[in-house]
Amino acid sequence: MNGTGAHVEAPPLTLEQFRKSLRGELVLDTDAEELYRLAKQIWNGDWEIDNRPKMIVHARGVADVRSTISYAQQHGMELAVRCGGHSLKGLSTNVGGIVLDLGKHMKSVRVDLAKKEVWFEGGCLVKDVDAETAPFGFATVLGAVGNAGTGGLVSGGGYGYFSRAYGLSVDNVLEMDVVLADGSFVRASENENPDLFWACRGGQSNFGIITSFRMRLFECPKEIFGGLVLYDMEDAVKVLTAFDAFASDPQCPREASTHVYSICLSPEQKLLAVQVCYLGDPKKGMQAYERLLSSAVPVDVQSKITTYQEYQVFSDEVYRIKGIPSYWRSRNVKAGTRLPVDDLVSIINSSPSEGILVIEHFGGRICEVDPSATAYRHRDSNYVFTFTGFGFQNANARKEVKNWMNNAVELLEEYLSGGSYLNYDNGPAQASFGDNLPRLRELKLKYDPMNFFRCNINILPAV
């Protein structure tokens, strides 16, 4: 063993020896049905995701992570890493391989108030970290729902309510502990293994298993203005035009994060929801949003003065339940593009009941970071369009959702940048990493030449 603990040749462990070597638990596909079902469960219940691993390891720490990598390699098994299990494409599971689950036990969080930093393990959900930081009046940049896993979210980019003000999650990571394919346990930061640090901030699980993160904390107001305001589709043109004026204004406050999406009550009745969040003085937030929210008469107003933590888990109500079939596609919008309002309205009007169009306002600090500063490339879009199919129950309904998305993407083609946000889309590597791909492939060759970590948006080692 060298100083980082890289594997040395050792005789393969038997299954029982492997089980005994773990602090955590091992669940096999031959165990009781319910135990196995729960252990392998992921968020997306789409039946087209083949979720039949041979075994699930609920790791309790770095030693379990290293033993599992070693066992997988000794037995030629595929390894998928799981944190929150929210990958839309099921990248945290496989067929016949091992799922290494960090999300059951590796959830420690430590706040350093003096340094304004938070350290947490790679199995934490967004809400686990918030629960420790928010009571001290701080938060870091994580996603806009509490149940998503930090492991996938941060390593893939990480967009949340603080992003317009402070950038993506990857822009606020200070350090990561990583177990590499050869079993070494290394630190990645600006000073230690800076190339690995660069690659893990946007390169997802291609380079190693991130067992912990250290991130910057930001002051979080005690009270914020946030919630949903709902409009009739009759008023959609007015509301989307007002949203575009709000979001395209260079003076748009960075405290304001806005998502606009369609809601289908029945095939005949759809609504347009404006989800607002102002991370500053709530009165200023109400003023900032006044013109947008009064662009039409709402059918329901659920926005209010609330706390950040309460607001952060607000969307979880919709997405709380695991196992609902889902299919997403996401496209970044070309820099400087104004919203094609009429096309968007026609896309919403033509959506099947399970189809939702989400328009997220990015911009702000995200765009100011150099696109080559981290592996996360696509920073210049002011908007990201995400088409989500949620809750379809049979093959026909699934097909209808996919057709709707295909048609929508085709219709919007001229406005799209060609890049996509890998946390939402799971498209090919070129679309996800753009011009950062060649450097990522060189680093893949350095850190994972055998492409052991391949349950992800896969980056092939350079040849």
Ligand X SMILES: Cc1cc2nc3c(=O)[nH]c(=O)nc-3n(C[C@H](O)[C@H](O)[C@H](O)COP(=O)(O)OP(=O)(O)OC[C@H]3O[C@@H](n4cnc5c(N)ncnc54)[C@H](O)[C@@H]3O)c2cc1C
Contact between 39 and ligand X per CB under 6 A: no
Nearer to ligand X, 271 or 457 (CB): 457
Of 68-87, which residues contact ligand X (CB under 6 A)?
80-87
Contact between 143 and ligand X per CB under 6 A: yes
Q: What is the CA radius of gyration of the chain?
A: 22
Contact between 51 and ligand X per CB under 6 A: no
Q: Half-sphere exposure of 300 toward its Cβ, with a 13 Å CA cutoff?
A: 10
Phi, psi (degrees; rounded to nearest 5) at 99: -105, 120
Contact between 423 and ligand X per CB under 6 A: yes
Contact between 97 and ligand X per CB under 6 A: no
Contact between 419 and ligand X per CB under 6 A: no
Nearer to ligand X, 82 or 214 (CB): 82
Q: Which residue, 72, 70, 128, 137, is CA-closest to 99?
A: 72
Per-residue b or e along 116-131, where b marks 16 or more CB atoms closer than 10 Å to that residue's CB: ebbbbbbbbbbbbbbb
Contact between 82 and 68 under an 8 Å Cβ cutoff? The reply is: no
State the minimum distance, in angstroms, from the CB of residue 209 to ligand X.
Answer: 5
Nearer to ligand X, 298 or 363 (CB): 363
State the minimum distance, in angstroms, from the CB of residue 331 to ligand X.
Answer: 15
Measured CA to CA in angstroms, residue 410 lies from 349, 416, 418, 428, 431 at distances of: 16, 10, 12, 18, 16
Of 154-193, which residues contact ligand X (CB under 6 A)?
155-160
Nearer to ligand X, 153 or 405 (CB): 153
Of 210-229, which residues contact ligand X (CB under 6 A)?
210
Tell me, by CB under 6 A, how many residues bind ligand X: 37
Say how many Å lie between the first and final Cα of the chain, rounded: 29
Classified as helix, coil or strand, 169 is helix
State the minimum distance, in angstroms, from the CB of residue 390 to ligand X.
Answer: 9
Nearer to ligand X, 195 or 235 (CB): 195
Q: Where are the alpha helices (DSSP H) in 220-281?
A: 236-248
State the minimum distance, in angstroms, from the CB of residue 361 to ligand X.
Answer: 13
Amino acid at residue number 387:
F
Site residues (vs ligand X, CB under 6 A) = 43, 80-88, 91-92, 102, 122, 143-145, 148-149, 151-153, 155-160, 204-205, 209-210, 319, 423-424, 455-456
